[in-house]
Amino acid sequence: MSIRRTDLYALALCGVVSVTQMALAAPEKLEVCTTCHGADGSGAGFDNVPIIAGTPAAHLEEALYAYQDGARRCVEEPVMCETAANLSETEIVDLAEHFSAMGRISAGEARDEALVVIGERLHTEHCAKCHVLPGDEEVEDAIGIPLQGQRSAYLKLAFQSYLSGDRETLVPEMAEKLELLDASDIDALIKYYSSYEL
């Protein structure tokens, strides 16, 4: 039997569980998430798994709701969508808070100078106003999810999902920007993001 949060609060009030233990109580379902995303939110060892450590909570929540309502379909990893489907609103808020509170991690992939120059130019011109740097002081209020430092295999999957219609863009301008890009632009952007050292 699992212990629900509310039970923990009740136990704490009775003096059975100390406040320290309460603060350490992990969000429910966290263990399921960490099997793929890692305890540090890096998703290390799994190509298609995004780095979610340090992503603003509002975006993590939005993503989980998008999996629940079908705006995002899990083509490569159905378990992600199956897991999201069972989350309550409180669990979504708790899990988003948990991962967003962590420091951001860079994928630290190999740089290709020529591609990075092209990728950075495209990013600055078309994407930077919504996708600010993960460390930007405005990151919490930015419209887009931070992309610098993200792993290339996940970014590839995200672009493919938009292009195939398995993922809906939540803001129309994001879709318009994607239409401007050809395959080599996307490669350059992915190289720029995945080799960016935070």
Chain residues in the site for ligand HEC (CB under 6 A): 29, 32-33, 35-37, 48-50, 52, 55, 60, 63-64, 72, 74-77, 79-80, 83, 87, 95, 126-127, 129-131, 143-145, 147, 155, 157-159, 161, 169-171, 173-174, 177, 181, 189
Residue 116 or 155 having the CB closest to ligand HEC: 155
Residue 12 or 75 having the CB closest to ligand HEC: 75
Distance CA(33)–CA(60), nearest Å, equals: 13
Asked if 146 contacts 128 with a C-beta cutoff of 8 angstroms, the reply is no
CA torsion 20→23→25→27, rounded to 10°? 180
Query: In whole angstroms, how close is the CB of 72 to ligand HEC at the nearest point?
Result: 5
Query: Which whole-number Å values give the CA distances from 122 to 111, 182, 185, in the listed order?
Result: 17, 11, 8
Residue 21 or 35 having the CB closest to ligand HEC: 35
Residue 7 or 125 having the CB closest to ligand HEC: 125
Query: In whole angstroms, how close is the CB of 79 to ligand HEC at the nearest point?
Result: 4
CB within 8 A of 103, min separation 6: which ones?
53, 54
Residue 10 or 97 having the CB closest to ligand HEC: 97
Helices and strands: H and E segment counts in the chain: 10, 0
CB atoms within 10 A of CB 84: 21
Query: In whole angstroms, how close is the CB of 15 to ligand HEC at the nearest point?
Result: 32
Query: In whole angstroms, how close is the CB of 106 to ligand HEC at the nearest point?
Result: 14
